[in-house]
Structure 1
Amino acid sequence: MNLKTSSSLDLSITAMGVARLTFSQAPTNAMPIVLLEELANTIQILGKDSNVRVIILQSGGDRTFCSGADFNELRQIQDMSAGKIFFSGFAKVINACRESSKIIIGRVQGKAVGGGVGLAAATDYCFATQWASIKLSELSIGIVPAVIEPAVSRKIGLSSFSKMALNPTEFYSAEWAFQQGLFYEVLDSIEKMDDSIEQFANQLARYNPDALLALKQILWVNTEHWEWLLHERAEISGKLVLSEFTRNALARF
Structure 2
Amino acid sequence: MNTFNNITIDKDGKTAVVTINRPSKMNALNAATLSEIAQAFHVLEADNEVRGIILTGAGEKAFVAGADIQEFVHLNKEEATQLSRRGHEEVMNVIYNFRKPVIAAINGFALGGGLELALACHLRIAVESAKVGLPEVSLGIIPGYGGTQRLTALVGRGKALEMIMTGDMITATEAYQWGVLNHVVTEAEDLLPKAKSILERTYLRSATAIGAAIEAVNAGIQDSAVGSEAEIRLFGECFGSEDMKEGVAAFLEKRQPNF
Structure 2 length normalisation: TM-score? 0.87
Q: How does 1:190-229 map to 2 (within 5 A)?
A: 190-225=188-223, 229=227
User: How many angstroms apart in 2 are the aligned matches of 1:236 and 1:166?
Assistant: 15
The separation in 2 between residues aligned to 1:67 and 1:212, in whole angstroms, is: 31
- Counterpart residue type for residue 139 of structure 1: V
- The aligned counterpart of 2:180 is 182
Is 1:62 matched with 2:69?
Answer: no
**Residues of 1 paired with 2:88 and 2:32: CA distance?**
13
Q: Partners in 2 of 1:81 and 1:104 — Cα distance?
A: 32
Equivalent residues of 2:148, 2:231 under 8 A apart:
no
% same residue: 22
| Deviations 1:22-57, CA, capped at 9 Å, x for gaps | 122232111112221331342244234322211111
Structure 1 CA distance, aligned partners of 2:234 and 2:64? 22
Aligned match of 1:125: 123
Q: Which residue of 2 aligns with 1:165?
A: 164
Contact 2:6 2:32 in 1 (8 A): no
Instruction: Tell me how far 1:68 sits from its aligned partner.
Output: 1.7
Number of residues of Structure 1 aligned to a counterpart in Structure 2: 248
TM-score under structure 1 length normalisation? 0.89
**Aligned-pair CA distance for 1:11:** 1.2
Cα distance in 1 between the residues matched to 2:39 and 2:195 = 24
CA RMSD across the alignment: 2.0
Find the aligned partners of 1:22 and 1:62 in 2 and give their Cα distance. Answer: 12
CA distance in 2, matches of 1:139, 1:133: 17
Contact 1:68–1:112 (Cα < 8 Å) also in 2: yes
Indicate how the Cα distance of structure 1 residues 222 and 48 shifts in structure 2: closer, same or farther if over 3 A, else same. Answer: farther
Farther-moved stretch of structure 1 (53-62 vs 82-91): 82-91
Shift of 1:228: 6.7
Separation of aligned partners in 2, 1:205 and 1:227: 30
- Runs of 5+ unmatched residues, structure 1: none
1:241 equivalenced with 2:235 (yes/no): no
Amino acid at match of 2:121: T
Distance 1:69 1:151 in 2: 17
SS at match of 2:18: strand
1:22 aligns with 2:10: no
**Residues 80 and 238 of structure 1 are in contact (CA less than 8 Å); yes or no, is this contact kept in structure 2?**
yes
SS of residue in 1 equivalent to 2:88: helix
> Any stretches of 5+ residues in structure 2 without a counterpart?
253-259
